[in-house]
Amino acid sequence: MQFDNSKISVRQLLIIVVVAAFAPMIQVVPQLVGGIAGRVGWLSILVAFGLFALLILMLARMFRKTEATDLYELFTKIVGKFCAKVIIAIYGIWTFVLIAFYARSFAERFVASILPNTPISVFLAILLAVAAVFAYGKLESFARFAELSLYLFAGVFVFLLAVSLPTIEVQNLLPITARDGVPALWGAVMMLGFLSYLTFGLFLGDGVSDMAKFRKQGIKSGILLAVAGLITFVVTVGILGVSWASEANLPFFTAVRTVRLLNVVERLEALFLTFWVIADLVIVSLFLYVFLNILRKLFVLKNPKRLTAPTVLGVYLLSGVIAGNLFELSRFFERVAVQVNVALGVGVPILIFVVAILRKKV
């Protein structure tokens, strides 16, 4: 089926969200989920997928019953225009913070792993400039870039899993005991901090041509994210052990660097770094699109793209002060970002769903 050039399919929207979620997942899933759930963090990922599937079903029902095209319209039809604007203003503020956070994380990791003598400002400027180019362009072009990236990532993940299998220690992932239940549940909540980015992506829903397919495509996206999270956790913790993985700043990167392929191919981190750069670019670009779209809804703007340059400048300035180093960024994500992500990405939709039931909107 052909879609209008100004719109993308719901499948493409969710592919953007999936690729965007790869960036934080490969960085901190082994560290954060492993630090809470221990060696059974892989079980947390499965539990999180189950909760994510329930979120998809809940959102799909609200979209179907209200015939809303995006999250702002959904909120408006259920709680009214004023409350909806207050809610999306909160989403807008947090989205702006997330753009700055991920831009700074990208720069910090590059400096820490590859070019330690290069100023962080150089990487910030490059990343934000490329994201601005995407924002000025068509959403359809960005969606095609994300779709091509997904195929690349799928191949990279399968390849890394295959070459890592001989070095994975099963005892680092087993056994499971009754005492692992509560930590696994808390680990699942942390995992939802990544999966909940789907909710933010739905602010672009009015640029989607077939929201009726949201439930089916949403479940598929959850499966992709769960598989990616499982591979990330199994490879990292299986090779390094949970103690090392939960303490290292870049555990997945560290695990990849230890892998040898037939004693010939070493330093597979080059392949991983390509993957990593693209994922960071997609997540920053996605949140930039979302932020501009929220501004459009809040202030009824006809051309929000004119605010791209001021937004990027503001992000650049905030990125410079949001944290002092990679350690502080990790602590910010663990102690603040994950909780806010879950509250906005999962908690608010649940609250809206309850209100919709009480008001007989669904």
Q: What is the pLDDT along the chain (362 residues), one digit of tens a residue?
A: 333 446 889 999 999 999 998 878 877 788 878 888 888 888 999 999 999 999 999 999 999 999 888 999 999 999 999 999 999 999 999 999 999 999 998 888 777 767 777 788 899 999 999 999 999 988 899 999 999 999 888 887 787 778 778 888 888 888 788 788 888 888 888 888 888 899 999 999 777 877 888 999 999 999 988 888 888 888 888 888 888 877 776 777 777 777 665 454 455 566 667 777 888 899 999 999 999 999 999 999 888 999 999 999 999 999 988 888 878 888 888 889 989 999 999 999 999 999 999 999 88
Which amino acid belongs to residue 165? Answer: L
- Write the CB contacts of 134 (distance below 8 Å, at least 6 apart in sequence): 141, 142, 145, 285, 288, 289
Residue at token pair 């870039």 = 145
pLDDT at position 270: 64
CA torsion sign, 94 to 100 to 106 to 108?
A: negative
CA torsion sign, 211 to 215 to 220 to 221?
A: positive
CB 134 within 8 A of CB 151: no
pLDDT at position 267: 56
Q: By C-alpha distance, which of 340, 347, 269, 276 is closest to 28?
A: 276
- Does domain 10-358 sit in CATH 1.10.3720.10? no
CB 46 within 8 A of CB 226: yes
pLDDT at position 13: 92
Q: What would the two tokens of residue 204 be?
A: 């672009």
CB 82 within 8 A of CB 103: no
What's this model's pTM, rounded to 2 decimal places? 0.90
pLDDT at position 266: 52
